[in-house]
A and B are shown apart, each in its own frame.
Chain A
């Protein structure tokens, strides 16, 4: 136990070292979100009308931020599944290290990667006209929310990676879960156009509450929906926090347990 944290940090360092050894991975994992920013800004931005001062991009950026951190679930799961497949996890499990260290280390690594990706995206957004108006404190709070959301999802990723084991399957599962969640939300378009039933889903969807929370923290009024007048759409900050805490409380112990009991 004494070494739990230093073991985890060694595992995190390994992940960062991997990025240094194959920089392509880093380049492509940041190009994708930047591409989304540009596509949505210039393809849809012109045709979606909003009353938002500053234009669609103000509403868009929180949506893309949340979408990007949501993909942490898949990337954590894929990384872990690959390590399992190559036998690296077996090696780690034969060492006298704290049992949680390997998975904790991976969530740290993915969290650090998120910081970098968010920074790159924020810069890209700024370049195409995104201007948050709420001041340093609230803007920082928004990024803290995003960071925490990614971290919480990372723990689901650990569970998925250990349960599914095959990296390619994990990838498909990741997309199957993440795409509907990010599009059945207020991230890119108002929920008002959806059928009633989907509106309820969209408003309770953690992606929506996160997007709404970020928009609020970035100083926006237009929430893209909230017609069902549901509690989450009225209280996006509280709901998002609740979701994050809930996910971590459930998945951190569950995933560590799964890791302890897992074997190929």
Chain B
């Protein structure tokens, strides 16, 4: 059963001149993790805002746990947790103040709110800084507290909008650990990210979006094989390139590609490790000793490149991507 479904969502800004969402549809099965992957401005945040009842689409439908998001936003709000770039906590208050306040706003009793706040602070390793204002927190701590605030009443569906954007590698690893724990607990999660390895790491299924449309979806493996299967790559001394190329083409039955700068020859193969062994044997007979040899599956970067014709933005220019976030819709 689908916990989240979006059907043909359209959302335009500036009187229709900017199409943020252009007939976007997606589903998340109960208890699974869907990662919505796309560059800045692809429509990720708009999608989350619509599903989390913050924004009404121009047309299309959306359901969360079977409830119509547009017709019954109040009921949906009781079932969801939202955390991310644009949903924040009160920075002048302490972590404890914030969690107790949110507990009260979820209509827990006073003592219950306090207990729950302490429990969540403990769970996210924030107990030591519980009495400090959030503005003194590190980026990673702030995100963990933000996440804790969205878990006050154990939501059925959790929306995380770019949970690790702007974090340093350590903060990101910590956040991934926390999210993996949550997923083990059985929550249905929709997560947006512009980091390909994040989607790979956390998601059961990935929806790649660009210009407000889903352009591909499937498991990480399925997406990779959509781009092409395995490739065999062999790196040799310059003098042996010609002979090696012949061997590879003979074994694989495909034409090989040479990257002369790194003296690496590659070709698509369909027989996996058998091809690898055949090539090794033939190379051995020809007395060629490769510097490196291996089977490569395409990375999600390759997938993204193949699908959109451009690289995911943060790879190309990280500081610029960060700057852009501030001014985005």
The smallest beta-carbon distance between B104 and chain A, in angstroms, is: 4
Shortest distance in angstroms between A238's beta carbon and chain B's nearest beta carbon?
41
Q: How far is the CA of A83 from the CA of B78 in the complex (A)?
A: 22
Nearest A residue to B79, CB-CB = A96
The answer to the question of B54 belonging to the interface, with a C-beta cut-off of 8 Å to chain A, is: yes
CB pair A264–B105 under 8 Å, yes or no, is no
A106 → B minimal CB distance (Å): 13
Q: A94 vs B52: C-alpha distance in the bound complex, in angstroms?
A: 6
- Nearest A residue (CB) for B104: A10
- Does A48 lie at the interface of the complex (its beta carbon under 8 Å from any beta carbon of B)? no
CA distance A97 to B108 in the complex (A): 12
Cα A14 to Cα B102 in complex, Å, equals: 10
B101/A87 in contact, CB under 8 A: no
With A10-B104, A14-B101, A86-B91 as contacts: A91 and B149 at CB distance below 8 Å: yes
Q: Assess whether B49 is in contact with A263, with CB atoms less than 8 Å apart.
A: yes
The 0/1 profile, CB within 8 Å of B marked 1, for residues 88-112 of chain A is 1011111111000000000000000
Q: Which residues in A have their C-beta under 8 angstroms from that of B86?
A: 87, 90, 264
Q: Given A97-B105, A263-B55, does the pair A90, B88 have CB atoms closer than 8 Å?
A: yes
Measured between beta carbons, the chain A residues less than 8 angstroms from B74 are 96
- Which residues of the partner chain A approach B105 to less than 8 Å between Cβ atoms? 7, 10, 92, 95, 97
Task: Decide if A133 is an interface residue (CB 8 Å cutoff).
Answer: no
A176 touches B (CB below 8 Å)? no
State which of B54, B77, B107, B149 has its C-beta within 8 Å of the C-beta of A90.
B54
Taking the closest CB of chain A, its distance from the CB of B157, in whole angstroms, is 12
Task: Indicate whether A42 reaches chain B with its CB closer than 8 angstroms.
Answer: no
Centre residue among B90, B102, B329 by max chain A CB count within 10 A: B90
- Taking a contact as CB atoms under 8 Å apart, the answer to whether B88 and A96 are in contact is no
User: Chain A residues with Cβ under 8 A from B49's Cβ?
Assistant: 90, 263
B77 contacts which chain A residues (CB < 8 A)?
94-96
Asked whether, in the complex, the Cβ of A17 is within 8 Å of the Cβ of B53, the reply is no
Chain A residues within an 8 Å CB radius of B53: 93-94
| A101, closest chain B residue (CB) | B105
Look across to chain A and name the residue whose beta carbon is closest to the beta carbon of B53: A94
Pairwise interchain contact B92-A95, C-beta atoms closer than 8 A: no
Interface residues of B in 46-84 (CB under 8 A from A): 49, 52-55, 74, 77-78, 80, 82
Asked if B87 CB lies within 8 Å of chain A CBs, one says yes
B285-318 interface with A by 8 A CB criterion: none
Q: Binding site of A, secondary structure by majority: helix, strand, loop or mixed?
A: helix
Kindly state whether residue A3 has any CB partner on chain B within 8 Å: yes
Query: A96: which B residues are within 8 A, CB to CB?
Result: 74, 77-78, 106-107
CB <8 Å contact, B107 and A17:
no
Chain A: minimal CB distance from B214 (Å): 23
Q: Is the CB of A18 within 8 A of B93?
A: yes
Interface of chain A residues 237 through 264 with chain B (CB within 8 A): 263-264
For the complex, give the distance between the alpha carbons of A93 and B87 in Å: 9
A13 to B90, CA, bound (A): 13
On chain B, the residues within 8 Å of A88 by CB distance are: 88-90
* A127: interface (CB < 8 Å): no
Q: Which residues of B contact A264 (CB under 8 A)?
A: 86, 329
When the two chains form the complex, which single residue of A17, A86, A95 contacts B97, counting CB atoms closer than 8 Å? A17
Cβ of B133 within 8 Å of any chain A Cβ, yes or no, is: yes
Contact of B88 among A14, A91, A95, A97 (CB under 8 A): A91
B107 touching A14, Cβ below 8 Å: no
CA distance A262 to B106 in the complex (A): 22
A83, closest chain B residue (CB) = B90
Q: Output the nearest chain B residue to A94 by Cβ-Cβ distance.
A: B82
Check: A22 CB closer than 8 A to any chain B CB. yes
Which residues in B have their C-beta under 8 angstroms from that of A86?
Answer: 88, 91
CB within 8 Å of B: which of A10-40?
10, 13-14, 17-18, 21-22
A264 to B88, CA, bound (A): 13
Q: Closest 9 A-B residue pairs measured CB to CB?
A: A87-B88, A96-B77, A96-B78, A91-B87, A94-B82, A10-B104, A87-B86, A90-B87, A18-B92
| Complex A-B: 29 CB contacts under 8 Å | A3-B107, A6-B107, A10-B101, A13-B101, A14-B90, A17-B93, A17-B97, A18-B92, A18-B93, A21-B94, A21-B97, A86-B88, A87-B87, A88-B88, A88-B90, A90-B49, A90-B54, A90-B88, A91-B88, A91-B89, A92-B105, A94-B53, A94-B54, A94-B80, A96-B74, A96-B77, A96-B78, A97-B105, A264-B86
**Given A18-B92, A91-B88, 16 new contacts (CB under 8 A):** A7-B105, A13-B101, A17-B97, A86-B88, A87-B85, A90-B82, A91-B82, A91-B87, A91-B89, A91-B149, A94-B52, A94-B80, A95-B106, A96-B74, A96-B77, A264-B86
